[in-house]
Chain A
C-alpha cells in the first residue's frame, strides 16, 4: 500500500463506502414508480391475478359494489357470479368482484382496498376470516405496496419489515428502469383490454395450481383423505415468531394493524364490512377475537360446514359445491346489508 494512502484516513474510507451504499439504498426507495407496473411484478407468479384486480379497479368502467378481499379460501370458496345471481333473485342488481389472492396476509388486502377506494365506491367489503389469524404479511406486499406503506410497516416494527425494506430499493430501481426504458423490464405501460378479458378470474370450478396445472374443483376426496390432510397440516395451525411474547405482540400484529386500517378507511366512506369465516375441514374452532370483528362489521360464521366432507376439495378449501353453499350464504347476508 502506498504511503500516500495512509494519509487518507483509511478507516473513514471504509465508513464512507458503507454509509454511501446505505444512503444509496435509502435514496432508491424514493424513486418514483407507476402503481400499475408494481402490480405487473406479480405476472408469471401464482399471484398473477393481482394485475387483473388492478385493471378491474382502474381500467374497467363498471362499478364495484361488493369487493371480496381474501386468500385462497375465498378465491376458491366464493363465486362472484353466484353471489350476483343470488342477489339479483332478491332484487339487488350489483357488481361483485372477488379480489382474493392465494396465501394469507392482511397487509396486501389493505393495499387492494386502498386502490379500490381510489376509483370505486363499494357498498360492502367482504373480508375473509380463518380459524387462526395470520400473524405476518403477504408475499405480494413487497411488490405491490407503495414505498410509503413499506415505511409504515417498518414504523410498526412488523415481522416482515426487514425483508420488505431490503427489497424496496431493488424494486424501485427495477420500476425506475422500466420507466426509463419502456419494454426493457417486461412491464406494460398501457392497459391491454384483450389480455384483461382473457385473464381467468373465477376459480370455483377450476383453478391453476403452483405447477401450472388446471385443477377440477368439483372433485371431492374421501373423508379419510381429508382427515389425513388435516393431520398433516396441523403444524400450520398456529404460526408465530420464535420471540418472547411481549416482542411478538409487536412483530406478529399484521392482522390487528391492517384490519384496523381497512376498517377506518371503510368507516370514513360509509362502507360496510362483512367478515366471512371459512373453516378448515375437521377444525370447528371458534372465531378468535370475535368481539373485535363484530365491532367492525357483520360476521358470516360458517363453522358448521367444517365437518361436511362433501363440500371440501382439500382440507383447507371448499370444492365447487362448497363454494355454492358459501356464496349463497354470503348473498343472503349481503342482501340484508346492501341498500
Chain B
C-alpha cells in the first residue's frame, strides 16, 4: 500500500488509528497487536504471497535475539554463535533475494555457460527490515537491547510507517517508547503534529517529486533511446533526477515520521537538507541519515578500529597512515553503500564514485587541517573561508552528487555513462534537438521552484522544531539553519498552510500515484 494512495489515506489510516486507540482502552498489548496486525496487512497489501518472508524474519530474529539477551553473560560463546547464525541468516536472505540474479547473470556472461537465470522477486523493503534486524541482533549482543518481549519486537519489526523504506530504526530508540505509560493514549497534540508533518511529506511527494518525474521520465527515456545526451540536457536530467529522488524520499520519510507520530511514536530523522551541504562528507551525513548511521556503526567503525591498531603497530604516519585508517574504510563503506541500493553495475559505479568522493574530501580536509596547523605553528593568521570558496564548495558538492546520482538512476551502466558523457561535454556542445522538445517551461518552472525551496526554506523538522519532530532531533537542531526561517505553531494561518499542503498533496495523487523510488531497494 502506498502512503500516497486514497485507500491508505481514507481507509487504512483512519481504521488503524481507531483500532489502535480503541484497543488501548482494553490494554496496551491489545493496542500493540492491533497495530502489528494492521502493519502486516499494510505489508501484505502489496504482494500477500511474500508476507511469509517478513513473518519468518520476525520470528527467527526474535528467537535469536531472545537467546542472546538471556545468555549473553552466562553462555557467551553460544550467544556469539547464535549471533553469527542470525546475521548469516539475515544477510543470506538479503544476498539471495537481491543479488543472486545479478551474480548468476555475470557468471553466465563471463563463463559462456548455458543456463537459465531464475527470476527472483525482490521482497518489498527487504533491505530496510533486514538492516533493522541486524542492528537489533548486534544491539542484543552488546547488551543494549534487553528484556524484549515478542509483542514489543513484533511491533518494532513490523511498524508500518517505517517498514518498507525506513527510517531504519534502532531498538533503543523505539522500544522504550512502547514501554512508556502514555504509549497508546490518544494525545491530540501528536495528531496535530503528525498530521502536519505527514501533509508536508505528501505535498513534497505528489506535488514536486511526481510532477518532476512526469517531465523527467519521458526525457530520460528519449535520451536512452537516442543514446546521445548533450551538455544542457545532461545537466537538466541530472538535476531533475536528484530533485525527484530528494523530494520523493524525503517526502516519504516525512510521511513516515508524521504517521508514526500519530500513533505516538517518534522516528529518527532521515534527511536534513542534504542538498545544502558544502562537502560530500556533509552531504552523506544528511542524506538517508538512518542508513548512514547504520553503516557507520556496523560497517565503518568495526573496520576502522582494527585498521587504526594496525597503523599504530606498523608505525604508519603521514599520508600512508591516513590512507589506511581513513581512506580505506571510507572507500569500502561507501562502495558497500552503493551496492546496498541494488544489484547492477550502475550501483557498483555509484558506490565507487562516492567512495572516491569521500576519500578525496577526507584528504582535502586533512590537507587544510595540516596547512592550518602549519600556519598556527608559524604564528601566522589562519585565513577565514571567503564567500567564493564557500560557493565553490557548494557547487563542487552538487556537481559530484548530480554526477554520481545518474549511475544510481541508470537502468544499465551504458545509460549512466551516456548521461555522464553528456554532462561533462564528451558528446560535444551542440544541443540534441530530439531532447530539446522535452525542455518545457513547466519543467523549468518546477525545477526552479524546487531549487528555491531546497536552497532557502527550512526543512520539515526545522519548521516543526518546537514540537520535537524526531527522536534524535536534538542532535540536529542547530545544524544547517536555512536562510529563511519559519517556525510552525498551531495558529490559524499555520493550520491553514497545513490544510493547503494536505489538500494539494491529496489532489495531486490524481496525476497518478507513483511508487516511491526507494521501494525498489
In whole angstroms, what is the CA distance A1 to B464 when docked? 11
Beta-carbon contact of A167 and B498 below 8 Å: no
Give the dominant DSSP class at B's interface. Answer: helix
Beta-carbon contact of B466 and A21 below 8 Å: no
In whole angstroms, what is the CA distance A236 to B314 when docked? 78
Whether A14 contacts B191 in the complex (CB less than 8 A), given A20-B499, A170-B508, comes out as: yes
Q: Is A184 an interface residue (CB 8 A)?
A: yes
Partner pick for A13 among B6, B445, B495, CB 8 A cutoff? B495
In whole angstroms, what is the CA distance A96 to B133 when docked? 70
Q: How extensive is the interface on chain A, given as a class?
A: 20 to 34
Beta-carbon contact of A17 and B195 below 8 Å: yes
Partner pick for A17 among B498, B506, B511, CB 8 A cutoff? B498
- Over the window 465-506 of chain B, the binary record of Cβ atoms lying under 8 Å from chain A Cβ atoms (1 yes, 0 no) is 011000000000000000000000110100110111011001
Q: What is the total number of residues of chain B having a CB less than 8 Å from a CB of chain A?
A: 32
Partner pick for B507 among A16, A17, A25, A181, CB 8 A cutoff? A25
Name the interface residues of A152-180: CB closer than 8 Å to any CB of B. Answer: 166-167, 169-171, 173
In whole angstroms, what is the CA distance A121 to B189 when docked? 62
Beta-carbon contact of A21 and B506 below 8 Å: yes
Residues in A whose Cβ lies below 8 Å from that of B508: 170
Q: Is A183 an interface residue (CB 8 A)?
A: yes
Beta-carbon contact of B498 and A10 below 8 Å: no
- Over the window 158-200 of chain B, the binary record of Cβ atoms lying under 8 Å from chain A Cβ atoms (1 yes, 0 no) is 0000000000000000000000000000011111110110010
Q: Is A284 an interface residue (CB 8 A)?
A: no
- Over the window 182-211 of chain A, the binary record of Cβ atoms lying under 8 Å from chain B Cβ atoms (1 yes, 0 no) is 011110000000000000000000000000
Q: Is A5 an interface residue (CB 8 A)?
A: yes
In whole angstroms, what is the CA distance A18 to B196 when docked? 11
Q: Is B441 an interface residue (CB 8 A)?
A: yes
Partner pick for B499 among A2, A24, A166, A184, CB 8 A cutoff? A24
Whether A14 contacts B440 in the complex (CB less than 8 A), given A2-B466, A25-B503, comes out as: no
Name the interface residues of A1-52: CB closer than 8 Å to any CB of B. Answer: 1-2, 5-6, 8, 10-11, 13-14, 16-18, 20-22, 24-25, 28
A285 to chain B, nearest CB (A): 36
In whole angstroms, what is the CA distance A181 to B441 when docked? 10
Residues in A whose Cβ lies below 8 Å from that of B511: 170
In whole angstroms, what is the CA distance A173 to B188 when docked? 32
A-B complex: 9 closest residue pairs judged by Cβ atoms? A10-B188, A20-B499, A170-B510, A1-B189, A24-B503, A21-B503, A170-B507, A21-B502, A21-B499
Known: A10-B192, A13-B192, A181-B445. 15 other contacts (CB 8 A): A1-B190, A13-B495, A14-B192, A16-B495, A17-B199, A17-B495, A17-B499, A20-B500, A24-B503, A166-B6, A166-B510, A169-B507, A170-B508, A173-B507, A186-B442
Residue pairs across A and B with Cβ atoms less than 8 A apart, 7 shown, are: A1-B187, A10-B490, A13-B188, A20-B499, A24-B503, A25-B506, A184-B445
